[in-house]
Amino acid sequence: MLETLHSKADAAFATTARGGLHHDHRRSVSLTRRQSILFVTSEIADYIKAGGLGEVSAALPRALRSHYDVRILIPGYRQVLSQIGAIEEIAQLPPSFGIPACGLGRGMTKDGLTVYVLLCPELYDRDGSPYVDSLGVDWSDNDIRFARLGLAAADIACGKGDPLWRADLLHLNDWPSGLAAAYLTWRGQHVPTILTIHNLAYQGIFARDRLPALGIPDAAFHINGVEFHGKMSFLKAGIFYASHITTVSSTYAREITQPEHGCGLDGLLRTRAWQGRLDGIINGIDQSWDPSKDPNLVSRFSAENCRGKRANADNVRKNFGLALSSGPLFAVVSRLVHQKGVDLAISAAETIVSQGGQIAVIGQGEPRFETELRALAQRHPGSVGVKIGYDEGDARRTYAGSDFLLMPSRFEPCGLSQMYAQRFGSLPIAHRTGGLADTIEDGVNGFLFGEPCLLRFMDAIKRGLETFRSRPRLTAMRRAAMNRPHGWDRSASKYKEVYERACRTAAYA
């Protein structure tokens, strides 16, 4: 997809390249200097994460470090300030319309990655997640909190942040940083911007009357702008104004250009794809996901020697209050939301248990799913164990101890859980959608089913159970799953291509 979608931009580049000296000079500037990338994110696993975005934000900049001067920009949440260590305040960013002034701090991760932190206690210094309070309700000032993030990113790109550094390119992620691309455009600044969509379903939609407070010009409240069904959308702003859009798998990149998965933005995304400005780049997983080294496991193992999985399975059974058994162990490690098909997993549970299987669930999310899962465990003591909560050690142990991971997501932009499961020798049983379709080969390193309905899901589970009964086949599939290429290198080089194309396009705009 990457190669084909960009033929127009590259052709334009090649034509100009034949133009002579003027071009060659610009080209040498962009290719010889180590370029500066500002990676703008609302979560990073080093300090705070709500899902896969936090993990990608920690891994991708590190994978790109050897090529670029990559720095992170993140709001100064309580969890960031308490963990990052020394922060030097390097600038004051002025207020703008209803967006308050804030300090810009510079800190560093333990391994030396520069992190710019927005110092604005009134917006960020509170308990809870980046997006919601402890009751799961969106922070009522989310528009201002993330407009502040977008505006700061634009300031840094224009040289108004760190007096010693400015960004050649902004890499924005999801709706919280979407407005950065718009602010740059409204200021007439041509800094290239890449927006990565990790999940189109979360759009950052706010009422029209918030426009003045956010410094959004009236003229931008338009179908060709930030307007979305009479409201304004931060994500649409990002998609509309960014130089280039990526999303986290090739299949999802295609799916979001269709009404079924386009969340009302499929028309604009179709246009971007047609313009060669939409790519799918699959996520990788980081090196800490290695069952031969992971200190969280009671026994280590590898693709060559999987015997250690047995001790991990016994440990999961103990941990989740399951009976001792040599039968198949299924896992669910997930946010408990509609997207993830939790209801399908709950419906499949009765059959799995009746066939001698056991299920360990770790997750948190919508209260109705938490309640239903607790009730399921009560109905099947010793066969279904449920932990409501978030614990990475438990998640790792569960991948390591299970035989199968249930992942019947209705849509899945990329999905990391299935890749972690594969790496730990647990075969994912997943809906053929988004990144699941791109990372799982049916019958080789996992099982895929076509329609997100119980009937098709159960067919795939039955194929899993048959495989479980044939040891040589199970071992071969486990080995294939564990050996599947999973690192960040290939994805990082694709991002590099996109960055370079965006810089070239901006240079000739």
Told to check if 362 binds ligand ADP by CB under 6 A, we report yes
Q: Distance (Å, rounded) from C-alpha 415 to C-alpha 439? A: 9
Told to check if 505 binds ligand GLC by CB under 6 A, we report no
**H-only helix segments in 33-178:** 52-64, 78-81, 121-124, 142-157
What is the size of the binding site for ligand GLC (CB under 6 A)?
14
**H-only helix segments in 135-190:** 142-157, 179-186
Shortest Cβ distance from residue 430 to ligand GLC (Å)? 11
Told to check if 48 binds ligand ADP by CB under 6 A, we report no
Contact yes or no for 167/37 (Cβ under 8 A): yes
Told to check if 415 binds ligand ADP by CB under 6 A, we report yes
Residues 22-81 that bind ligand GLC (CB under 6 A): 51-53, 56
Shortest Cβ distance from residue 420 to ligand ADP (Å)? 6
Please identify, using beta-carbon distances, which residue of 334 and 505 lies nearer to ligand GLC. Answer: 334
Shortest Cβ distance from residue 289 to ligand ADP (Å)? 9
Question: 14 — phi, psi (to 5°)?
Answer: -60, -40
Shortest Cβ distance from residue 305 to ligand GLC (Å)? 30
Exposure class string for 351-387: b at 16+ Cβ within 10 A, else e: ebbeeebbbbbbbbbeeebbebbeebbeebeebbbbb
Contact yes or no for 417/345 (Cβ under 8 A): no
Q: Using alpha carbons only, how large is the chain's radius of gyration in Å?
A: 24
Distances (CA, A) of 402 to 7, 343, 379: 45, 20, 21
391: tokens are: 């614990």
Please identify, using beta-carbon distances, which residue of 52 and 130 lies nearer to ligand ADP. Answer: 52
Helix (H, G, I), strand (E, B) or coil at 75: strand
Told to check if 172 binds ligand GLC by CB under 6 A, we report no
Told to check if 353 binds ligand ADP by CB under 6 A, we report no
Q: What is the dihedral of CA 182, 187, 193, 195, to 10 degrees?
A: -10
Shortest Cβ distance from residue 413 to ligand GLC (Å)? 4
Residue 248 touches which member of ligand GLC, ligand ADP, none, C-beta under 5-8 Å by kind = ligand GLC
Please identify, using beta-carbon distances, which residue of 55 and 314 lies nearer to ligand ADP. Answer: 55
Question: What strands lie across the sheet with 205-206, from one edge to the other?
Answer: 205-206, 231-233, 227-228
Which of 74, 147, 154, 248 forms a contact with ligand GLC (CB under 6 A)? 248
Q: How many CA atoms lie within 13 A of 62 on its CB side?
A: 19
Which of 275, 319, 364, 483 forms a contact with ligand ADP (CB under 6 A)? 364
Told to check if 130 binds ligand GLC by CB under 6 A, we report no
Residues 365-404 that bind ligand ADP (CB under 6 A): 390-392, 395
Query: Given the rule CB under 6 A, which of 378-386, 411-419, 425-433, 439-447 is the region that contacts ligand GLC?
Result: 411-419
Told to check if 162 binds ligand ADP by CB under 6 A, we report no
Q: Distance (Å, rounded) from C-alpha 345 to C-alpha 250? A: 26
Told to check if 414 binds ligand GLC by CB under 6 A, we report yes
Query: Which residues of the shown chain bind ligand ADP in the complex (CB under 6 A)?
Result: 51-52, 55, 333-335, 362-364, 390-392, 395, 414-417, 420
